[in-house]
Amino acid sequence: MKTPQLFGTNGIRGIPNQDLTLDLATGIGRSIGTFFKSSRIAIARDTRISGDMFLFAVASGAMSTGSDIVYIGVLPTPGLQYYCRENHIPGIMITASHNPPQYNGIKAIDSDGTEIDEATEVKIEDIYENRKYKLADWDKIGRYSYDNTGIDLYMNSIITSVNSKTIAESNLRVAIDTGNGASYYTSPEILTRLNCHPVSLNANPDGKFSSRNSEPKPENLSDLISIMKTGKFSIGIAHDGDADRCVFIDEKGNFVDGDRSLALIVKHTVKRGDSVVTPVSSSDALSEICTEKGAKLILTRVGAPIVARAMIDNNVTIGGEENGGIIYGKHQYCRDGAMTMALMLDLLARENKPLSELLRDIPEYYMIKTSVPRKREWEEIKELITKKFTGKMFDFTDGIKIYDTDGWTLIRPSGTEKIVRVFSESRKQETAKEYNKEYETFLKNL
């Protein structure tokens, strides 16, 4: 099957007025409108400065095909996805997710609330590349309107998906860092409605992400970690720019890797005979948990839409990625930071134990993640890797996963940036570092 050239792992991304131009945005809007042939298309954006510019460009393109555009505001990507699912209409999200503020992007959402699959991306790109637009006559051009019900619809759906009464009675104190992104209102408000006594950081919309980098990594969460070290809070929570991801800080101020939070939620969600879906980049801790619980682990390529599609195909309730992106099928089939937040609060309330204690039951693995600039074509890099490390066991599900004596390393090209990602895991931190350094050095020296 032909692979998409514009759509990466999670939509089209680039720097405004450089590789992401208004002409491209308008053309993609026309292509999405032409493909869906829908009378209505929902649209939303995150807080980035260029958000309005691309929203109107994409919306104009879609309206030129005869589709009415319904703008539902600044809210998380999963908020738009839930609106699309409930109203049975496609959608367009203007966001670059965790990328730095100078980036923006375009995601297309299907009418069931899932991100479009690769086959659909290829069809939309074909319409764009060959200008196969179906433009409407002057009196059939689409209209633009605003619907302010989407935010409450989304927040209520989260609250009713968990045991809100148990959470409300648990008297949890939560510190939350929304990073000036799309969840600046929704996540603190959900916490308030769950009686969680939230204290918010960076909960104002700032398209420059002035307070911290959008990606919720430990080095970007120093303020939240400092607050958690005071011992006054039950849990710390942080989102990325469009809040489809969620990471946690325990009550002692320790950052919890996304693979451990995923394994913990899976441990307390699945039953014998269930299945769990995750990419090949996820920790072996999840594999151990699934074996312990008698559940089947299904491995996929990296990318939330790919994981979500596999969950739908296999009727799976829980899945996700190691970066804090958990998918809860009983709510909707997409990464959802607020849903992940609510699932963790539900777990804390039910177990009545601190997060650090609950994590003791999760197998201890160490994962080192780095990246290097990609200055050659990926196929050439892949060939050089296999020649250099002949004799080792390879898995080509996504990129190259190299198995060593007591660990593994996954090397794959990023779908959103011109870099090669290097993930190394072992039961010993020093071993994981050694593996990562070995492959990172090899890539840098190409």
Mind listing the pLDDT tens digit for each residue in 314-354? 999 999 998 889 999 999 999 999 999 999 999 999 999 99
Residues of the chain with CATH 3.40.120.10: 12-148, 153-361
What percent of the chain has a predicted confidence (pLDDT) above 70? 100
Topology at the third CATH level for domain 153-361: Alpha-D-Glucose-1,6-Bisphosphate; Chain A, domain 3 (3.40.120)
Residue 9 identity (one-letter amino acid) = T
Q: What is the model's pLDDT at position 222?
A: 97
Element (H, E) at 408: strand 407-413
432 pLDDT higher than 70: yes
Task: Give the whole-angstrom CA distance, residue 66 versus residue 279.
Answer: 38
Stretch 196-214: mean pLDDT: 96
Q: What is the model's pLDDT at position 216?
A: 95
The full length of the chain comes to: 446
CA-based Rg of the chain, rounded to a whole angstrom?
A: 21
Q: What is the model's pLDDT at position 10?
A: 80
297 pLDDT higher than 90: yes
Active site positions, annotated: 97
Task: Give the whole-angstrom CA distance, residue 181 versus residue 140.
Answer: 36
Stretch 284-297: mean pLDDT: 96
Residue with more model confidence, 309 or 2: 309
Task: Give the whole-angstrom CA distance, residue 179 versus residue 393.
Answer: 41
Q: What is the model's pLDDT at position 5?
A: 84
What percent of the chain has a predicted confidence (pLDDT) above 90? 94
172 pLDDT higher than 70: yes
Q: What is the model's pLDDT at position 425?
A: 97
**Helix-strand-coil percent breakdown of the chain, rounded to 5?**
35, 25, 40
Q: What is the model's pLDDT at position 1?
A: 58
416 pLDDT higher than 90: no
Element (H, E) at 288: helix 284-293
Q: What is the model's pLDDT at position 204?
A: 96
2 pLDDT higher than 80: no
Residue found under tokens 């939070």:
261
287 pLDDT higher than 90: yes
Contact of 394 with 408, CB cutoff 8 Å: no
Topology at the third CATH level for domain 12-148: Alpha-D-Glucose-1,6-Bisphosphate; Chain A, domain 3 (3.40.120)
Q: What is the model's pLDDT at position 414?
A: 86
Give pLDDT tens digits for 230-283. Answer: 999 999 999 999 999 999 999 999 999 999 999 999 999 999 999 999 999 999
Q: Is 205 exposed, middle or buried (0-12, 13-18, 19+ CB in 10 A)?
A: middle
Nearest to 428 by CA among 365, 359, 360: 365
Stretch 184-212: mean pLDDT: 97
Q: What is the model's pLDDT at position 8?
A: 81
Give pLDDT tens digits for 358-407. Answer: 999 999 999 999 999 998 999 999 999 999 999 899 999 999 999 998 99
Phi, psi of 99 (to 5 degrees): -65, 160
Give pLDDT tens digits for 33-62. Answer: 999 999 999 999 999 999 999 999 999 999
Stretch 89-110: mean pLDDT: 96
Task: Give the whole-angstrom CA distance, residue 176 versus residue 248.
Answer: 9
Task: Give the whole-angstrom CA distance, residue 125 versus residue 130.
Answer: 8
The verdict on domain 366-444 having CATH code 3.40.50.170 is no
